[in-house]
Amino acid sequence: MDNRKLSICVFCGSSHGLLPQYAETAKRLGQLIGTNGYSLVFGGGNVGLMGETARAAHAAGAPILGVLPAFLRHVERPLNGSEELIVVPDMQQRKAIMLDRADAFIALPGGLGTFDEIFEVLSTAQLQVHKKPIVLIDSEGYFAPLQALLASVVRQGFAIRSIENFYRVVATPEAALQCINSWPGGAASTTQGDPRG
C-alpha cells in the first residue's frame, strides 16, 4: 500500500441487492478512487458490491488492501491476487485494521455487516478516537431509514452531542469524494485524536 496516497475504506454489501443501480454506483466509486490516485481498503471479497468496487478500482489503477476474516475466505473469495490481502481471525480485527489503515470511509448499500462497520466508525468518531471523514452514498434512497434512526437517537438524548457532525450523506460517488476532499481539517491530515478531547 502506497502510504502517500489517500486511502479510502469502502463499506458495502457482499450481495448486489435488488436494484442494478447499486452495482453501477459501486463501479463508479471504484473507478473514481483509481482515477483520482487514491488507494482502496475494503472487506477483501470478490463478491457483491464489494467485488464491483474493488474490481473497478483495480482496473483504474488503485492499490488495494483487502481485510478478510479467515472463516469467510471460502464464501467471499479474494480478488485473484490483485490485492494486498490480510487474513484475520474475526470481524473485530477486520474492523480494527480497516479503521487504522484508512484516511476516510465511504459506505454504499449493504446488510448487517455494512451497518456494523458504519456504526463502528461513527461511534469511535463520537468518542474522539478519530476525526476521519465518514460519507454515506444514498443510492436510491437506501440510507433514508438510517438517517431517520440517527436523528431519533439525537432527539431522544442518547448522543452526547449531535452525531450528525461526524458524517455526511450524499447522492453520488462524485459528491462523496468531493465531500472527503473538503472535510474540515482535510482527510489526508486526519490523525488519531485524544479520547479526552
Question: Does pLDDT of 170 surpass 50?
Answer: yes
Indicate the pLDDT class of residue 5, thresholds 50, 70 and 90. Answer: confident
Instruction: Please list the residues that pair with 130 across neighbouring strands.
Output: 192
User: Looking at the domain that runs over 7-183, which CATH code has it been given?
Assistant: 3.40.50.450
Displacement of CA 5 from its chain's centroid (Å): 16
Q: In the prediction, which pLDDT does 78 show?
A: 66
Q: Give the rounded percent of residues in the chain with a pLDDT score beyond 70.
A: 87
Query: Of 88-97, 144-153, 182-191, which range is least confident?
Result: 182-191
Answer for the pair 48, 29: CB distance below 8 angstroms, yes or no. Answer: no
Q: In the prediction, which pLDDT does 4 show?
A: 52
**How far apart (Å, rounded) are the C-alpha atoms in residues 46 and 78?**
5
Question: Does pLDDT of 18 surpass 70?
Answer: yes
Which sequence spans correspond to the domains of the chain? 7-183
Answer for the pair 114, 12: CB distance below 8 angstroms, yes or no. Answer: yes
CA distances from 94 to 68, 127, 147, 148, 165 (A): 7, 20, 25, 28, 25
pLDDT in tens, 42-100: 999 889 999 999 999 999 999 999 999 988 876 666 677 667 899 999 999 999 999 99
> H/E/C letters for each residue in 80-145?
CCCCEEEEECCHHHHHHHHHHHCCEEEECCCCHHHHHHHHHHHHHHHCCCECCCEEEECHHHCCHH
